[in-house]
Structure 1
Amino acid sequence: MPTLNAVSLASGYGNFAVPEVALVAAADVLTEAHGQRAPLAVAPAAGLPELREALARRYRERGAGGVAAGQVVVTNGAKTGLFALLSEILQPGDDVLLPTPNWFGFWELVRRAGGNLRTLPLAAADHYALTPAALRAALTPATRLLLLSNPNNPTGRVYSRAEWAALLAVTADFPDLWVLSDEIYEGISFGLEPVPTLLEWPDPHGRHVVVSGFSKSLALAGWGVGCLVAPPALAQAVTARLFATGAPVPVPSQAAALAATRHAEEISRGLCQQLAPNRALLLAALAALPGAGTIAAPEGTYYVFADFTRFLPPGLPPAEASAQLVRQLAGAGVEVVNGASCGAPGFVRLSYAVAETDLRLAVQRIHETLAPATQPLI
């Protein structure tokens, strides 16, 4: 069991202040309703038209020239959008291919949408490269959906434009295959080039879909705003499903999201500057652990997916040994995400989007637990 003063490096949400422009925009909506003694307006099921247009414009500015507001749907968080999309795309038993490691939530979302998730394991040794040959070998005529994340949670891997182009040359040979890119961390990037979006490339079969949101790259965790971009017919079907099963995103949250969208580059740049010192601190501390070898710095997200396989208790199945290691760290006061839940037992996902004092304490406890004879070089 975790100690009472446990430090959590397991949360998927950062410790970011809400952007001032978003707070002001939401407050203006509330102030207007109060001043008029009127109820809050209820947004259309697909979202406020001005937010949908702003999102479409931002994708066009990022190189996706053909994106129109009619393809954009605003959702109650990214998971709601993902589930609605999967529920529209998949028939019971449909094959879904997921390169792993990947976000643990995909397993349950695919299951609940009726799909059959099949993994394509990638290797840390070659920096989680997904080659066209490996993808082609894994796809079959029965594969209904390829699910990708860029940047990847938990590894932080960013797939470049050249890699995307090579992969999409393969998927083009499968006309019944949907390609879904989870791009919710696109603004948290430390590479030299911006993170590419799937929407930059031609969609010969009308089957490219992007899901994103505002909680990671735009510091609106807790505001419950996600979005998706899909071919028009699918966007309409998802909107109809959301209208039948839920309520639109509240207008104050959409106003905040609109303001954040209009200031997206500035907000994301500020978050990356805030994260950079902790990123360096955590990477240095992990490199100081015995047997660390060369650690590839993640290009995106605010996670490091650390290889702790050398610290696994011997004689146990990998999943059981990984769970025991995570319990050991929790007992020492550090909560982490078990890599087994992402398809990589023996790895742990560590967030550095925490207070520096908390990160230093967590690193100290990790060293004291796994390598008590050494001290972290921080």
Structure 2
Amino acid sequence: MISNRAENLSESQTLKISGRAKQLAREGVSVISLSAGEPDFKTPAHICNAAIEAITDGFHGYTMNTGMPELREAVVNKLKRDNDLTYSADEIVLSNGAKQSIGFSLLATINLGDEVLIPAPYWVSYPEMVKMAQGTPVPIRTSFADQFKMTAEQLREHITPNTKALILCSPSNPTGTCYTLKELKEIANVLREYPDILIFSDEIYEYIVFNGEHVSILNAAPDLQDRTVVINGFSKGFAMTGWRLGYAAGPKAIISALAKIQSQETSAPSSISQKAGIAAYTGSMAPVSRMRDSFLERRNYMVKALNEIDGVDCFTPSGAFYLFPDIRAFLGKSTPSGSTIKTSTDLCLYLLEDHGVAAVPGDAFGEPGGLRISYASSMEQLKEAIQRLSNGFNALT
């Protein structure tokens, strides 16, 4: 009854953990969730007002499959203004979230047996999306010592005659790490040797960068634009997760293929969300800066507090709102009830069930020695979470 495609997919561990946390909360258990990749801020007022105006004005119908021309032009202007990248409107497709843009990009380009390189730790959906496109995900495991950045040498070592694409995410989910211009240039030098390899650059966290400005792979290597698809959206920087609005920018051939798939699967995103998107890209960026400043304060607090817990080692990431501490010191230890912590999943379930803190195991991201902590919560909650985490870790023997 069930297709092989569905049977072969894994459930999203981030949604699984956050779902269990919500269930416990409904049962009356005090739970602090550090698992969801969602800003805790409200969408800025001027964006909401644009949506309200669209509803009041009766802007209720379908838009073009690729999205409103006005919003695609706003994306073109934004890419030039913020990223120094030049595109035309017919090289942009708006979608129901950046997640859809990534998935449809892979469906548009990957065939049976094609290998897609994915630096690990990776966002949980990348390998599963590759599988849905009948490709083969090839993780490139990085190290805590290198802040989980893939080196040019590691990239070269994993390229085979079957390699079709590379997925790059900077700032990274789940680690928060950001590639520098120099590092991206070194990666680009390898990619130039293999002109048939496509690049999917996920830049959804670009507005949450703490050290300087966001750097795209195309800033390091503009000559790779003819085989690069830039994925972005509104959910993280503008706190618009539920609005479901993202986009892909890339070569016309790929964008046209993506649009064809979208026309059969979903059509364009919500007309109301698109009006909100125009306001986001043409209005004040002050709310984005304020949210970033709050994330910076939280990051600094959490890194310091985690490193004060015996056995936890946490580097300071440059972007996003995640930490990915090294928890290998706790693997093999026992809980007060006598259970053994064999994996990061065991550790997260213990912290959730016994101490009311939800984090996501590194196992889900291809890195068993860590776990992902989101600090997209209030300082009050984060301080309570640190106390609970400290109690939980210290109780292991």
1:111-190 maps to which residues of 2 (within 5 A)?
A: 111-190=131-210
Q: Distance in 1 between matches of 2:52 and 2:356?
A: 39
- Name which of 384, 388, 396 aligns with 1:361: 384
Of the structure 1 ranges 129-138 and 342-351, higher mean CA displacement relative to structure 2 is found in 129-138
1:178-327 maps to which residues of 2 (within 5 A)?
A: 178-191=198-211, 193-200=212-219, 201-204=221-224, 206-263=226-283, 265-292=285-312, 295-314=314-333, 320-327=342-349
1:214-233: CA deviations, max 9, x gaps? 11112111001011111011
Tell me the residue number matched to 1:347. 370
Please tell me whether the aligned partners of residues 21 and 259 of structure 1 are also in contact (alpha carbons under 8 angstroms). Answer: yes
Q: Distance in 2 between matches of 1:197 and 1:163?
A: 11
Task: Say which SS state the counterpart of residue 241 (structure 2) adopts.
Answer: coil
* 1:16 aligned onto 2:41: yes
Tell me the residue number matched to 2:17. none
1:120-147: CA deviations, max 9, x gaps? 1000112223222221121122200111
Please tell me whether the aligned partners of residues 149 and 183 of structure 1 are also in contact (alpha carbons under 8 angstroms). Answer: yes
Are the structure 2 counterparts of residues 309 and 21 from structure 1 closer, same or farther at C-alpha, using a change threshold of 3 Å? same
Amino acid at match of 2:34: L
How many residues are treated as equivalent by the alignment?
364
Q: Distance in 1 between matches of 2:194 and 2:349?
A: 43
Superposed CA RMSD = 2.0
Please tell me whether the aligned partners of residues 180 and 211 of structure 1 are also in contact (alpha carbons under 8 angstroms). Answer: yes
Of the structure 1 ranges 54-63 and 96-105, higher mean CA displacement relative to structure 2 is found in 54-63
Amino acid at match of 1:371: N
Tell me the residue number matched to 1:36. none
Tell me the residue number matched to 1:68. 88
Are the structure 2 counterparts of residues 78 and 60 from structure 1 closer, same or farther at C-alpha, using a change threshold of 3 Å? same
Amino acid at match of 1:304: L
Percentage identity across aligned positions? 31
Shift of 1:372: 4.9
Q: Distance in 2 between matches of 1:20 and 1:205?
A: 35
Amino acid at match of 2:367: A
Tell me the residue number matched to 1:376. none
Amino acid at match of 1:323: T
Q: Distance in 2 between matches of 1:308 and 1:88?
A: 38
Amino acid at match of 2:114: D
Q: Distance in 1 between matches of 2:248 and 2:284?
A: 17
Q: Distance in 2 between matches of 1:89 and 1:64?
A: 26
1:54-65 maps to which residues of 2 (within 5 A)?
A: 54-65=74-85
Please tell me whether the aligned partners of residues 156 and 298 of structure 1 are also in contact (alpha carbons under 8 angstroms). Answer: yes
Shift of 1:285: 1.2
Please tell me whether the aligned partners of residues 311 and 327 of structure 2 are also in contact (alpha carbons under 8 angstroms). Answer: no
Please tell me whether the aligned partners of residues 331 and 341 of structure 2 are also in contact (alpha carbons under 8 angstroms). Answer: no
Shift of 1:278: 1.7
Q: Distance in 2 between matches of 1:265 and 1:309?
A: 40
Structure 2's unaligned 5+ residue stretches are: 1-19, 335-339
1:322-337 maps to which residues of 2 (within 5 A)?
A: 322-331=344-353, 332-337=355-360
Please tell me whether the aligned partners of residues 329 and 335 of structure 1 are also in contact (alpha carbons under 8 angstroms). Answer: yes
Tell me the residue number matched to 2:394. 371
Please tell me whether the aligned partners of residues 337 and 350 of structure 1 are also in contact (alpha carbons under 8 angstroms). Answer: yes
Q: Distance in 1 between matches of 2:142 and 2:160?
A: 18
Task: Say which SS state the counterpart of residue 200 (structure 2) adopts.
Answer: strand
Query: Deviation above 4 Å: which 4+ runs of structure 1?
Result: none
Task: Say which SS state the counterpart of residue 174 (structure 2) adopts.
Answer: coil
Are the structure 2 counterparts of residues 205 and 160 from structure 1 closer, same or farther at C-alpha, using a change threshold of 3 Å? closer
Please tell me whether the aligned partners of residues 306 and 349 of structure 1 are also in contact (alpha carbons under 8 angstroms). Answer: yes
Please tell me whether the aligned partners of residues 331 and 342 of structure 2 are also in contact (alpha carbons under 8 angstroms). Answer: no
Shift of 1:291: 3.4
Task: Say which SS state the counterpart of residue 306 (structure 1) adopts.
Answer: coil
Amino acid at match of 1:162: K
Q: Distance in 2 between matches of 1:321 and 1:12?
A: 22
Task: Say which SS state the counterpart of residue 323 (structure 1) adopts.
Answer: helix
Shift of 1:320: 4.6
Shift of 1:198: 2.7
Structure 1's unaligned 5+ residue stretches are: 34-38, 374-378
Shift of 1:170: 0.9
Are the structure 2 counterparts of residues 68 and 11 from structure 1 closer, same or farther at C-alpha, using a change threshold of 3 Å? same
Q: Distance in 2 between matches of 1:177 and 1:83?
A: 17
Shift of 1:314: 4.8
Which structure ranks higher in relative contact order (CA pairs < 8 Å, sequence separation ≥ 6)? 1
